[in-house]
Amino acid sequence: MGKIQGQCLCGAIRYTAAAEPLLTAVCHCTHCQKQTGSAFSIVVAVPKGSLVFTAEEPAIYQDVGESGLPVRRRFCPKCGSPIVTEVAAMPTMDFIKAGTLDDTSWLEPQLNIWCDSAQPWVKLDASTPCVPGNPPAA
Ligand SMILES: [Zn+2]
Ligand SMILES: [Zn+2]
């Protein structure tokens, strides 16, 4: 059983990926704050095309990133859980909202992104690198 499998709150959306995760990051961007209703989102990057939806297909909110390029935020139309984000500026990977994973015990964020918009009370771990915007191109 792979690490990457999970579902939304209501279970209408289920996903799996055979690939290993590429990166785990904490995103402090204002759009993630809005979408999650929280201070940040935890995202796990997987290779583009590796994610398979095994129940229903998530709905899409077409957002626009800082780059001016589209950001497709996919969510469950029944319960509203954000599931995955497809960022046109980063075409080789998709970003799963880590809170939707069935098993979150292995998560260990390696990077903080969009730290310029982090909420001031969020104490960032000094040992985890922080970048002001998107992660540097791999
Ligand atoms: Zn749902
Ligand atoms: Zn974000």
Give the pLDDT of residue 136. Answer: 76
Reported as a single tens digit per residue, the pLDDT across 9-66 is 999 999 999 999 999 999 999 999 999 999 999 999 999 999 999 999 999 999 999 8
Q: How many angstroms is it from 69 CA to the middle of ligand 2?
A: 14
> Residue 84: which H helix or E strand, with range?
strand 82-87
3-state secondary structure of 42: strand
| Domain carrying residue 67 | 4-117
Model pTM? 0.93
- Residue 51 carries which side chain, given as an amino acid letter? L
Domain assignment present for residue 137? The answer is no
- Which ligand has the nearest atom to the CA of 33? 2
81 alpha carbon to ligand 2 midpoint, in Å?
15
Q: How many domains in the chain? A: 1
For residue 112, the domain's CATH number is 2.170.150.70
CA of 121 to the centre of ligand 1 (A): 30
pLDDT at residue 28, as a whole number: 97
In a domain, 112, yes or no: yes
Predicted local distance difference test score (pLDDT) of residue 137: 65
